[in-house]
Structure 1
């Protein structure tokens, strides 16, 4: 659903994808959520959002997202929550160029929400710091804080306890099986591993590690299983988050391109560079200096 963001947008910002380089499930908490450990790294590929100031306090997302009512969209919810908590009387027109698949495990909705919080904090001149924005982001979703903070991280808890890490920044080939995964179904599956021993950030294996959700998803969704088999012919492949996207890493873009050209047309894919600093934060720093 690619959309051209109009010239009326006063601020245009990326909403980058992320990969989970590993995902361990340590146990289930009393509140039903799962205790996990994961490593997040950003990609220099993602959605793009445009923002323009409104004086009438209205929040208007100027695009329809299939299957998502306007008021339920995480972008609109993030904008209204920030508006409410800050007490501002300003509003915004928002445009979305949607490039990331929904239900792909690469953070599309959470990244859009974080870009909205950071973008409107800048546009409305609220002066909120990162901690305050991340705390608000957590009320919208467990993955929102990592996008708000914008640094590759080792995460614990439900994914909100973040410790910045410096990782290699390889090129990734990300394949997109044509299926949307229900995260709730994956975490409810009785066969999900829930007793992986905790590790420390110092004992992280190079390149991440395994994904405890992957065996459950492979069993439930043959499209993901087949994508992993296909990619594994060329590179060690694994799934990100609860899927559906699967990925492999390469030392350079040319090697990733070579494999991409050999994948079947039924398996869409993209190539992106891993980033320890979010492209969103790099763009915002430039906008702030203007």
Structure 2
């Protein structure tokens, strides 16, 4: 039995804000792209009824942690819909965190999704992926994408997904050591909701951009300088609401060359995009988009 599972990062190849809801959430159009770069979760189920999280970063262990929230949520839904006794649903979860927090790479949402998908399997609660995605939406708007496991156009608040196949590229991801809270950027007075909603065909033919980039460049001079520097070598943008900047390459060698030109203290990594979540490649043995 496999007990260690990937919890992959993502980037937003584009991100447009198309409207604002009465409850404060924003309507978006985005292209979620999986990366072959992951936190890992070692999950050992038991019948103690208790969820325990272990990690070297002690600051991550609190009641707001998405892993704990996801496990407790699945337990609650299993009790409600499957009539499974809660004392049978316990687990020890060991998190190895390498995705930077507040980076726009979706680490927290991915951790929640991996927890839901894997515990659904290990606990034999037998919820469908669509049901898990609906549960995951209670934790975060990006969680359904990570649960469904396919590179996708996201609409609504990000939960309406249209799977697509993207050419897999190499990416240099640079983290400027700035932690950004998504809610703070969405509430920025400089966020102008003006991007028109477009068809998927039009979106994919248009130049990609991120509506939050100008806000972040205005607020963080380090991010502005990083984008300017990287853009001299390759197409470079913010992912999500920041703070990571990614540069796109056709091969690994070019990405490595640009990375070598950056200051030695600059934190980053090189990875390839994938159309199927690394988690799904293991759990469901999926290698193709069309299933």
Q: Normalising by structure 1, what TM-score? A: 0.92
- The 3 A distance-change label for structure 1 pair 269 and 128 is same
Which residue does 2:51 correspond to in 1?
Answer: 59
Distance 1:207 1:102 in 2: 30
Q: Pick which of 191-200 and 111-120 moved more.
A: 191-200
Which residue does 1:19 correspond to in 2?
Answer: 11
Which residue does 1:228 correspond to in 2?
Answer: 227
**Please, what is the CA RMSD of the aligned residues?**
1.6
Within a 5 Å distance, the mapping from 1:199-214 to structure 2 comes to 199-205=198-204, 209-214=208-213
Which residue does 2:64 correspond to in 1?
Answer: 72
Q: Secondary structure at the match of 1:70?
A: coil
Which residue does 1:5 correspond to in 2?
Answer: none
Distance 1:34 1:25 in 2: 7
Distance 2:285 2:130 in 1: 21
Q: How big is each residue's C-alpha offset from its partner over 1:65-108, in whole Å with a ceiling of 9 and x where there is no partner?
A: 35444322110110011011102422000001100000000000
Distance 2:138 2:47 in 1: 26
Distance 1:67 1:207 in 2: 42
Unaligned runs of 5+ in 1: 1-8
Distance 1:163 1:209 in 2: 17
**Residue 32 (str. 1) matches residue 24 (str. 2):** yes
Q: Secondary structure at the match of 1:179?
A: coil
Runs of 4+ aligned structure 1 residues displaced above 6 Å come to none
Within a 5 Å distance, the mapping from 1:75-94 to structure 2 comes to 75-87=67-79, 88=84, 89-94=88-93
Distance 1:209 1:160 in 2: 20
Q: Return the offset for 1:10.
A: 5.0
Which residue does 2:289 correspond to in 1?
Answer: none
Q: Normalising by structure 2, what TM-score? A: 0.92
Contact residue 21 and residue 207 of structure 1 kept, 8 A: no
Q: How big is each residue's C-alpha offset from its partner over 1:103-145, in whole Å with a ceiling of 9 and x where there is no partner?
A: 0000000000000001101111111111100000000000000
Q: Return the offset for 1:233.
A: 2.3
Within a 5 Å distance, the mapping from 1:1-290 to structure 2 comes to 10-63=2-55, 65-87=57-79, 88=84, 89-205=88-204, 209-286=208-285
Contact residue 107 and residue 143 of structure 1 kept, 8 A: yes
